[in-house]
Amino acid sequence: MNREVALKAVKENVKTENLIKHMLATEAIMRALAWRFKENEDEWGIAGLLHDIDIDLTNADMKIHGKPGAQMARELGASDAICHAILAHNQMLGEPCVSLLDKALFCTDPLTGLITAAALVRPDKKLAGVETKSIKKRFKEERFAAGANRAQIAACSEIGLDLDDFIALGLEAMKDVAANLGLA
């Protein structure tokens, strides 16, 4: 499976532009993590890109979200590892995060929302001026980007990263694709 096929499928199945941007941000961070851990950057990136492909299909029903997505990914030619990561990123399915890929996608998913919110509160609404320390400060504010599950982000410790390093890596990865996210 290649990125072009995955991106085409995302655009055909996901109607919300902000959700597509979230998926692109997740892809960017997953690629950066793969590079850091000397894993397959394409595989990890595609897992990030496809992880929410079924949101519209499932009407965001978290009791089933991920199951159709994993099946859709499989039909597109995704590896078993990608399909499992898609299942495991939604805790409500009860599928455990086992592999490094699973764990990375799980903690990356909400990080994109926290970083995006940190950019959107800036007067220029751009990622360029956002710093890790400001995101870390906002991380402690429960009401800021309330949908960004802090415990899930903090699970970065399970992939061997402390919170500061994880946020810094995520921020830099998103800055690299800021134009695609509407944050440049």
pLDDT tens-place string over residues 35-64: 999 999 999 999 999 999 999 999 999 999
Are 103 and 94 a contacting pair, CB within 8 Å? no
Cα–Cα distances in angstroms (integers) from residue 132 to residues 116, 137, 171, in the given order: 12, 9, 7
Q: What angle do CA 66, 68, 69 make, to 5 degrees?
A: 55
For residue 131, pLDDT over 90 is answered with yes
Domain spanning 3-181: which CATH class is it, in words?
mainly alpha
Residue-range domain boundaries for the chain: 3-181
pTM of the model: 0.97
Rounded Cα distance, 176 and 181, in Å? 10
